[in-house]
C-alpha cells in the first residue's frame, strides 16, 4: 500500500489547510503556491483516480461534482469566472497523483492561455 497523498493527509487533518468548501465526495482548499490572485484546488475525497482521464472514465459523476464545486468556490472567492486546469502527467507539471483541478480566477491576463 502506498503512502497517502498530500491531499488525503490534508483531508485527514495531518497537514494543516483550511477546507474552504466541501461536497459529499469532494473538497476545496487554497493552493499553497498561488499562480493567480485566486488559486484554489478542488479534489475528490478518495485518491482512487490519479488524473482526470482516469476519473472521467471511472466516475463521470464525480468529475461533474468537481466541476460544480469549482463553480461554487469561484463564485464565492472570485467573481465567478475561472479557468479549470487538470495537469495530467509529469511532463505537464502534475506533481500530486491524486486527481485535482486548479481553479484560477480573480483577475487573469486577457486573451489566450499562458
Ligand atoms: P499539480 O502540480 O500536481 O498539478 O498540483 C499540485 C498543487 O498542490 C501545486 O499547485 C502545489 O502548490 C499544491 N500543494 C502541494 N502541497 C500542498 C500543501 O501542502 N498545501 C496546499 N494547500 N497546496 C499544496
d(CA 7, CA 32): 12
Catalytic residue annotation: 100
In a domain, 98, yes or no: yes
Residue 83 CB burial class (10 angstroms; 0-12, 13-18, ≥19): middle
In a domain, 111, yes or no: no
Give the mutation target among 4, 5, 6 for probing the ligand 1 site: most ligand atoms within 8 A of CB: 6
pLDDT band of residue 2 (cuts 50, 70, 90) is: confident
Cell numbers found for residue 50 = 490519479
pLDDT tens digits for range 35-87 = 999 999 999 999 999 999 999 999 999 999 999 999 999 999 999 999 999 99
Judge contact between 10 and 18, C-beta under 8 A: no
In a domain, 65, yes or no: yes
In a domain, 95, yes or no: yes
In a domain, 114, yes or no: no
DSSP calls for 84-98: EE---SGGGT----S
Please determine, for the modelled complex, whether the ipTM score is greater than 0.90: yes
Number of structural domains the chain divides into: 1
C-alpha 32 to ligand 1 mean position (Å): 6
d(CA 94, CA 88): 6
CATH code at position 86: 3.30.428.10
pLDDT tens digits for range 12-39 = 999 999 999 999 999 999 999 999 999 9
In a domain, 61, yes or no: yes
pLDDT band of residue 112 (cuts 50, 70, 90) is: low
pTM of the model: 0.96
Cα 50 from chain centre = 12
In a domain, 1, yes or no: no
- Domain assignment of residue 44, given as a range: 6-105
Please tell me the predicted confidence (pLDDT) of residue 19.
98
In a domain, 112, yes or no: no
d(CA 14, CA 20): 17
Amino acid at each position: 500500500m502506498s503512502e497517502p497523498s498530500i491531499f488525503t493527509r490534508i483531508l485527514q487533518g495531518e497537514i494543516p489547510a483550511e477546507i474552504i468548501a466541501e461536497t459529499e465526495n469532494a473538497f476545496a482548499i487554497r493552493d499553497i503556491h498561488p499562480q493567480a490572485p485566486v488559486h484554489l484546488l478542488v479534489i475528490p475525497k478518495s485518491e482512487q483516480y490519479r488524473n482526470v482521464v482516469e476519473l472521467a472514465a471511472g466516475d463521470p459523476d464525480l468529475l461533474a461534482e468537481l466541476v460544480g464545486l469549482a463553480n461554487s468556490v469561484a463564485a464565492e472567492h472570485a467573481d465567478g469566472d475561472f479557468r479549470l486546469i487538470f495537469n495530467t502527467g509529469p511532463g505537464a507539471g502534475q506533481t500530486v497523483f491524486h486527481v485535482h483541478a486548479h481553479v484560477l480566477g480573480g483577475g487573469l491576463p486577457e486573451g489566450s492561455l499562458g
